[in-house]
Amino acid sequence: MRNYNFSAGPSMLPLEVLEQVQKELLDFNGTGMSVMEMSHRSKPYEAINAEAESLLRSLMNIPDNYEVIFVQGGASMQFEAIPLNLNAKKADYVLTGNFASKAFEEAKKFADVVAAASSKDKNYTYIPTLNAKCFRQDADYVHICYNNTIFGTRYTSVPDTGKIPLVADISSCILSEEIDVSKFGVLYAGAQKNVGPAGVTIVIVRKDLSDIASPSCPTMLKWITQIKEKSLYNTPPSFSTYVSMLVFRWLTKLGGVKAIQKINEEKAAMLYDFIDNSDFYINKTNKPDRSIMNIPFVTSSEQLDNQFISEAAKEGFLTLKGHKLVGGMRASIYNAMPVEGIKKLIEFMKNPVVGDI
Ligand code: PMP
């Protein structure tokens, strides 16, 4: 019996993919072993690695002048890899939440870093209005977090940074909506939301920015180390990459990012409409900046929130507790959350049996 898991990550994987993994677990493709047991220098694994890259390239329409690598360390490791790889003297950050701020704090260790804009004044419930004048013209890059997992906001357009390379953390929105890769210098994302199991991290970097790292950048943090070796410089997170490849196949079969974006927009609209029309639940984010992946909401009291979360869990709606920085609830509705999961959650929310309401 599978539950609806609203976790912010690791989160649901498509059932079809899990079944495929199950089928191939003991014997992958006639090799007599699972991918977990397989040398990363073997032909079957090289094929998985190559297919993962080529499917991702076509799903995201990644231009040829961009490198794609699969690395370890999570998105968090890229927080420090970015200033070192871009050999930055100056960098401008837009602070729209916890992860944007963490990235900012890491970069401060290596460069002259400033907060070009912030939405902290309203507990990160909105995306600041930005234009090229917000940034220092001699900055080596501008960093944004495209979708803010904890606070439930997202950019709906790519900020204009003029000639300054734009770097974006797309951990919680990768493959959920179409984005124009050519507008960015670097994109990065941990896998554990829309891509696959935790353990693999995707970095997409424009070629002219891929080999300019500071000489003191550790070998394992340097993008060029993995670029030269097609992500096989050292032992990769092979099982995570294999499952991610299956997710890319699943998404391709479904019609790609354009198709899933339509479904994601419908799912989010259903839940937001229900919350907005209810006198019991509130979503505090600025409407135009609302995320279609992470939807935080509260009731009128912490006690009711807690009751809601425990009643929901009894009905199979799991991990709805909001992040401690926001409180209340959060429904993370990534690509693998079926439409039916949202419909059933809404039915439950109409009558959550939380005491005398
Ligand atoms: N950025 C964003 C937007 C995230 O949501 C997360 C994780 N939830 C991270 C960075 C950190 O990712 P990781 O745990 O892979 O280091």
What single string gives the DSSP state of each residue in 5-22?
E--SSS----HHHHHHHH
Residues of the chain with CATH 3.40.640.10: 15-253
**Comparing C-alpha atoms, which of 290, 317, 322 is closest to residue 306?**
322
CATH 2.40.160.50 for domain 256-350, yes or no, is no
**3-state DSSP assignment of residue 141:** strand
Strand partners, 189: 202
| Centroid of ligand 1 to alpha carbon of 198 (angstroms) | 10
**237, amino acid identity:** P
* CA distance linking residue 282 with residue 214, whole number of Å: 47
**Comparing C-alpha atoms, which of 169, 120, 127, 122 is closest to residue 144?**
169
Residues of the chain with pLDDT under 70: 354-357
pLDDT at 71: 98
| Centroid of ligand 1 to alpha carbon of 96 (angstroms) | 14
Out of 7, 76, 325, 332, give the residue to mutate to test ligand 1, the one with the largest number of ligand atoms within 8 Å of its CB.
Answer: 76
Length of the chain: 357
pLDDT at 357: 52
Token output for 341 = 């999961």
pLDDT at 356: 52
Residues with CB under 6 A from ligand 1: 8-9, 74-76, 99, 145, 149, 169, 171-172, 190
pLDDT at 188: 99
Q: Whose CA is nearest to atom 3 of ligand 1?
A: 171
**308, amino acid identity:** F
What is the side-by-side order of every strand in the sheet holding 186-190? 66-71, 201-206, 186-190, 166-169, 141-145, 90-95, 112-118
List of E strands, the chain: 4-5, 66-71, 90-95, 112-118, 141-145, 147-148, 153-154, 166-169, 186-190, 201-206, 294-297, 317-318, 329-332
pLDDT at 352: 83
pLDDT tens digits, 179-231 = 999 999 999 999 999 999 999 999 999 999 999 999 999 999 999 999 999 99
**Comparing C-alpha atoms, which of 202, 199, 207, 200 is closest to residue 224?**
207
Peptide bond into 237 cis (omega under 30): no
pTM above 0.90, yes or no: yes
Distances (CA, A) of 191 to 9, 37, 154, 201, 203: 9, 21, 18, 6, 11
Token output for 6 = 């609203």
| Centroid of ligand 1 to alpha carbon of 99 (angstroms) | 7
Token output for 104 = 């900012």
Residues 6+ apart with CB under 8 A from 356: none
Q: Whose CA is nearest to atom 12 of ligand 1?
A: 75
Residue 348 near residue 312 (C-beta atoms within 8 A): yes
pLDDT at 1: 80
Token output for 337 = 């959350």
Residues of the chain with CATH 3.90.1150.10: 256-350
pLDDT at 355: 56
Q: Whose CA is nearest to atom 5 of ligand 1?
A: 149
* CA distance linking residue 196 with residue 330, whole number of Å: 21
Out of 106, 151, 171, 291, give the residue to mutate to test ligand 1, the one with the largest number of ligand atoms within 8 Å of its CB.
Answer: 171
| Centroid of ligand 1 to alpha carbon of 193 (angstroms) | 9
List of E strands, 63-178: 66-71, 90-95, 112-118, 141-145, 147-148, 153-154, 166-169
**Comparing C-alpha atoms, which of 195, 240, 202 is closest to residue 335?**
195
CATH 3.30.9.10 for domain 15-253, yes or no, is no
Angle at 66 between CA 65 and CA 67, to 5 degrees: 130
What is the torsional sign of CA 144, 150, 151, 157?
A: positive
